[in-house]
Amino acid sequence: MTSSVVIEILRQTRERLSVRPRSADRMKVNDARNLPERAADLRSRGISPIIAEIKPRILARSLEPEEVAAIGRRYEADGACAISVLTQPTYFLGSPQNARVAREASSLPILRKDFILEERQLDEVACDLVLLIAAFSCDLDGLVEAAKSRGMEPLVEVHTEEELITALKTGARVVGINNRNLSTLEVSLDTFERLGPVAKGSGLFVVAESGIETREDVLRMEEAGADALLVGTSLMREPALLPLLNGAARP
């Protein structure tokens, strides 16, 4: 059973879609930035690939464009692998504009995180990667192909063995394993340790998501097969933590 918070976010998303005019404009990203290549470059220099997130909800307020740009520049300077941008406007206080600003301010790959339920949402903003949540995608195969046709890399997020099996049947090359339970919203790194090796063994680029707060957590996830790690809450609370998490600096 999905938590009431997630159910409400989905309801709000469907409500916004029901009143949004359909656009004939189709997004096309011709210069997509490559997440696996960036991760490999960092690893060659002994730096753990961290996807650093811009998550306004942690600050309990929306962000001005100049704030988004400043955060993006700092993440890049501190050795981030990519930048994840929450664009969901109500619960997470984000916006598609934040993804656009972050991409203009940084040379890093930009991952758009939102609740993508319909193909037309892919045309809202240009990004290098787009999150597709297996649990909420009625046509996951269609959304994966629609994202790829626009030049965006789909990152399929899973939480369970069943969802991972579904993701493996698509053409997705990047999978995110979220340590957060959708029913209870509790976090356990055991989830990645259970599913990560399966995804890794299937030849996918694997991202560990949620609950990563220390250098020890990073090493634990990498030991289980993580090619990159997505960190949001910890970095929004303390941006200076990034060089400690990725190993560029030591406490």
Q: What would the mean pLDDT of 112-128 be, rounded to a whole number?
A: 96
Mean pLDDT of the chain: 95
Q: Report d(CA 207, CA 182) in Å as an integer.
A: 18
Cβ distance 107 to 33 under 8 Å?
Answer: yes
pLDDT band at residue 137 using 50, 70 and 90 as cut-offs? confident
In order of start, what are the domains of the chain with their CATH numbers? 35-245 (3.20.20.70)
| Residues in CB range of 144: below 8 A, 6 or more apart | 132, 154, 156, 170, 171, 172
What is the average pLDDT across 169-189?
A: 95
pTM: 0.95
Supply the residues annotated as catalytic: 53, 55, 113, 157, 178, 209-210
pLDDT at 42 (0 to 100): 98
